[in-house]
Amino acid sequence: MKPTIKSAVATGLALAMLAAGSASAADLKFAPGEGDFNWDSYEALKEMKLDGEQITVFGPWLGPDQVLVESVLAYFAEATGADVKYTGSDSFEQQIMIDAEAGSAPNVAVFPQPGLASDMAKRGFLTALGDDTAAWLTDNYAAGQSWVDLATFQDDKGEEGLFGFFFKVDVKSLVWYSPENFEDAGYEVPESMEELKALTDQIVADGETPWCIGLGSGGATGWPATDWVEDMMLRTQPADVYDQWVSNEIPFNDERVIGAVEEFGYFARNDDYVAGGAGAVSSTDFRDSPKGLFSSPPQCYLHRQASFIPAFFPEDTVVGEDADFFYFPAYAEKDLGKPVLGAGTMFGVTKESKGAMALIEFLKSPIAHEVWMAQEGFLTPFNGVNTELYASDALRGMGDILLNATTFRFDGSDLMPGGVGAGSFWTGMVDYAGGKDATEVTTDIQNSWDALK
Amino acid sequence: MSNIAGTKSSLTWAVHLSLAALVLLWLFPTVGLLVSSFRTSDQIASTGWWKAMVPSEQNLTLRTGGADDQIQKDGNFVIEGNLFGEPGDAVISVWGTSSRAISDYKAGETAELKKGTSVTVQGNGDYVMQSPEEISGKRGQRIFATAKTPPEFTLKNYKYVLFDPSNREGMAKAFFNTLTVTIPATIIPILVAAFAAYALAWMDFPGRALLIAAVVGLLVVPLQLALIPLLKLHNEIGIGKGYLGAWLAHTGFGLPLAIYLLRNYMVGLPRDIIENAKVDGATDFQIFTKIILPLSFPALASFAIFQFLWTWNDLLVALVFLIDSTGDTTVMTKQIVELLGTRGGNWEILATSAFVSIAVPLGVFFAMQKYLVRGLLAGSVK
């Protein structure tokens, strides 16, 4: 009698597993073999046999973003048989430290900024990804070496290595506007910073307000202004000065930096230029400020913000029709090319396992990028993907800005030490927007940087 | 003298008034949250909740039908319809066709557009757009209308939080996980603290006063200090992250207050009863179970409410000791934070989730509230 029960149980289990297997296959967003995806790279993943191995991924994405990243990881799970679990947290920065310190880290962590990963690498919490991965990035990512440099840190023994794999990039040098409002008023999209300034003055002359600027972001209030200053830095100074500024080789209160801060002030500290007046800049939440573009009558006509901002447009706003963007232009008279500011998230291995390393290998396959591209909110510097797959013209347009950039620089505040880039720089910019002198503000920031050394 | 016992103070009305004012003040934010939970995110972003209750004048951007909707009528191309989809209670007073001139026309008037096209908008939103030529453009003409709209509330947020397929499972799981954390984390500290409180109140042993002082001292130690060392300990002894760890942490963090509250209550019980029981030959355990426990019920209940509310609303301890990277052991508070989205803009969901998660603690509070006040006073007033 016993063997039959056992075999019945075994059959039952096998059936249940089959059912589970087919259920997860149905969960794949795009059926393998269909569309212009690189399915060869998907088939190649099946070589990695990871049946039943659990891989935990911890990152900052929540809500709709979490659904997106899970849809990408599902392909890895389906092809290799691994059990991939993603969890997100809004306090990622704090929690990953607690978990790593106490020894209960996830296998893979997704860092929203390199500064934190650098700190963790220095304390020995990250596993190096190896020279192969570094070489792969150099060969396959646009401006590959710069991505490798951004993710190369020292570990606890002082040895340098690649500790992060950039996946998912945001373009920050964008100005959003409503094409129909531009049409009503007869405005043209500006091609240079001079034209942008002229347009700003023209809108004021027409009795309207040109800009919506909001710096509010709870505990992170001020960060949108740091993006402004970085963009202005790239538009007034050569890229190597930007690099020296970010690494503090030139002091924060250098006149060139002050110049960039004042360029931001040109727009943000003029009562006529900003919706609600200059006083409203630091108190307006960055999530609410783009809504002025779509109100009736429009509170403003221009809004400079990164590629993620459409998530905070009013419901039913169609990017490309109700709202559109143009490249935050550079000065025509200064021969600095077309600089682009961006940011990105980085995968790092916090607890080494066969599965964790395999997951990093998965990120090198075009399919990992293409599945997210074909949905929303994803840009990649990987040149092995089919750019036809971008879900919308808007995304492709942002991708083009990324590819046409003569200079690409990473968000400087993310590269500065946490106490500056996520501290005194933010608060300093709030002070500046509130009317404090630029020299005074930058000197304060430099002092806080000195204190950290 | 007006405050002699038995006579009514002439200032009673003042007491009542100020009491009512205080209650209103306390409820004010909650009411705002409640109203917000029935509004859409666009409504929350455009007007305050206090304006949601009365009809309001709003500037709306509406759109006529596109080229696909046109029909030929008497040689003209015509698009007809209603700007609100169907006639509702909203009444348009003035309108315009350009974002620069949103109030050029009164309801019922006709606006001339390019190429001989004209559009007429009625007060209830009905419009007629006519053109001698075929109308092109997939998207319709924008109409900027100033309309008086009645208050509008939606159950969408509650539907999303409670019944949306992408949340339903997670919410239900989080609810039961929270109960799994909360119930043992309430019972264990009460059990331990009751014994300890009895010993500290009625058993004579050297160093008792010092021990009480130490417990009181522990009240002021912030639990954040212990997070990492405690988690390290849990990992070393093999508990790791999980329910057991969360119960132990909640028990540890709750014990000082529990012991302090219960001891103060038990000390206030009449000495005679306990001495009589001792003379009759009762052991300490018998005194504890037969006399002290039944008499301390109000204090036990009031602490139970405290501990229950605190563990129910807790996010920090759960994040550190319970929720591992598999995400299987998520709790309500964590689930709610996740609903806010990566950049935390979904206020309407926050307001709604707050009311969903408030339901259970409110039930517990109303069921046991009479003990709360009794238990609190009993320790302090003799």
Residues B141 and B171 in one domain: no
Percent of chain B with pLDDT strictly greater than 70: 94
B20 inside domain? no
Decide: A449 and A248 in contact? Cβ < 8 Å: yes
pLDDT of residue B253: 92
Is the CB of residue A20 less than 8 Å away from at least one CB of chain B?
Answer: no
Check pLDDT > 80 for residue B344: no
Is the CB of residue A447 less than 8 Å away from at least one CB of chain B?
Answer: no
Residues B217 and B352 in one domain: yes
Mutation target for B interface from A296, A315, A353, A378: give the one with most B CBs within 10 A: A296
Nearest-neighbour CA in chain B from A308: distance (Å):
10
pLDDT of residue A26: 45
B48 inside domain? no
Q: Where are the beta strands (DSSP E) in A130-188?
A: 152-154, 160-162, 165-171, 174-177
Q: Are the Cβ atoms of A90 and B100 closer than 8 angstroms? A: no
Residue with tokens 């003209």: B76
Nearest-neighbour CA in chain A from B42: distance (Å):
6
**Least CB–CB distance from B228: residue in A101, A288, A291:** A101
Domain boundary among B129, B149, B169: B149
Residue of A nearest to B44 (CA): A288
**Least CB–CB distance from A297: residue in B42, B59, B327:** B59
Domain boundary among B149, B175, B192: B149
Q: Which residues of A touch B237 (CB under 8 A)?
A: none
β-bridge partners, A85: A56
Q: In whole angstroms, how far apart are CA A2 and each of A7, A8, A14, B240?
A: 9, 10, 18, 38
> How many separate domains does chain B show?
2
Decide: A180 and B143 in contact? Cβ < 8 Å: no
Q: Are the Cβ atoms of A56 and B324 closer than 8 angstroms? A: yes
pTM equals: 0.79
Is the CB of residue B111 less than 8 Å away from at least one CB of chain A?
Answer: no
Is the CB of residue B327 less than 8 Å away from at least one CB of chain A?
Answer: yes
d(CA A93, CA A102): 15
Q: Are the Cβ atoms of A67 and B325 closer than 8 angstroms? A: no
Is residue A204 packed enough to be buried (19+ CB in 10 Å), middle (13-18) or exposed (0-12)? middle
Q: Look at A270 and B380; give whichever has higher pLDDT.
A: A270
Q: Are the Cβ atoms of B319 and A105 closer than 8 angstroms? A: no
Residues B249 and B132 in one domain: no
B96 inside domain? yes
B43 inside domain? no
Least confident of A2-11, A221-230, A333-342, B282-291: A2-11
Domains and CATH numbers, chain A: 28-170+343-405 (3.40.190.10), 174-341+411-452 (3.40.190.10)
Residues B298 and B252 in one domain: yes
Residues B79 and B220 in one domain: no
Residue of B nearest to A85 (CA): B326
β-bridge partners, A379: A169
Q: Where are the beta strands (DSSP E) in chain B?
A: 56-63, 71-73, 76-82, 91-96, 105-106, 110-112, 118-121, 126-131, 142-149
Residues B211 and B130 in one domain: no
Q: Look at A177 and A399; give whichever has higher pLDDT.
A: A177
Residues B245 and B293 in one domain: yes
Decide: B97 and B51 in contact? Cβ < 8 Å: no
Is residue A434 packed enough to be buried (19+ CB in 10 Å), middle (13-18) or exposed (0-12)? middle
B315 inside domain? yes
User: Which domain range does residue B126 map to?
Assistant: 56-149
Q: Which residues of B touch A218 (CB under 8 A)?
A: 344
Q: How much of chain B is helix, strand and coil, in % rounded to 5?
A: 60, 15, 30
- Where b means 16+ CB within 10 Å and e means fewer, B212-245 reads beebeeeeeeeeeeebeebbeebbeeebbbebeb
Check pLDDT > 70 for residue B180: yes
Nearest-neighbour CA in chain A from B102: distance (Å):
7
Check residue B9 and report its DSSP letter. P
Q: Each residue of B58-99: pLDDT tens digit?
A: 888 888 888 888 888 878 888 888 888 877 788 888 998 888
Residues B304 and B197 in one domain: yes
Residues B134 and B223 in one domain: no
B70 inside domain? yes
Least confident of A189-203, A213-227, B195-209, B344-358: B344-358
Mean pLDDT of B158-186: 87
Mean pLDDT of A32-57: 88
Check pLDDT > 60 for residue A100: yes
Q: In whole angstroms, how far apart are CA B185 and each of A265, A415, B230?
A: 54, 43, 17
Q: Which residues of B touch A54 (CB under 8 A)?
A: 326
Q: How much of chain A is helix, strand and coil, in % rounded to 5?
A: 50, 15, 35
Residues B186 and B333 in one domain: yes
Check pLDDT > 80 for residue A323: yes
**Least CB–CB distance from A90: residue in B227, B328, B337:** B337
pLDDT of residue A305: 94
The candidate with the shortest Cα–Cα distance to A114, out of A386, A342, A380, is A342
Whether the complex's predicted ipTM surpasses the cut of 0.90: no
Least confident of B86-90, B305-309, B312-316: B86-90
Is the CB of residue A321 less than 8 Å away from at least one CB of chain B?
Answer: yes
Domain boundary among B149, B179, B213: B149
Check pLDDT > 60 for residue A381: yes
Residue A27: phi and psi, rounded to 5, are: -75, -15
Is the CB of residue B337 less than 8 Å away from at least one CB of chain A?
Answer: yes
Residues B293 and B185 in one domain: yes
Residues B163 and B145 in one domain: no
Q: Each residue of A3-37: pLDDT tens digit?
A: 444 444 444 444 444 433 333 444 788 888 888 88
Q: How many CB atoms lie within 10 A of CB B313?
A: 14
Mutation target for A interface from B42, B99, B104, B141: give the one with most A CBs within 10 A: B99
Q: Each residue of B254-292: pLDDT tens digit?
A: 999 999 999 998 998 888 888 899 899 989 899 999 889
CATH number at residue B322: 1.10.3720.10
Q: Each residue of A111-138: pLDDT tens digit?
A: 988 888 888 999 899 999 989 999 999 8
Quick one: pLDDT band at residue B5, thresholds 50, 70, 90?
low
Quick one: pLDDT band at residue B378, thresholds 50, 70, 90?
low
Percent of chain A with pLDDT strictly greater than 90: 49
Q: Look at A202 and A393; give whichever has higher pLDDT.
A: A202
Q: Are the Cβ atoms of B227 and A311 closer than 8 angstroms? A: no
Nearest-neighbour CA in chain A from B54: distance (Å):
21
B296 inside domain? yes
d(CA A6, CA A4): 5
B25 inside domain? no
**Three-class DSSP category at B77:** strand
Quick one: pLDDT band at residue B9, thresholds 50, 70, 90?
low
pLDDT of residue A22: 37
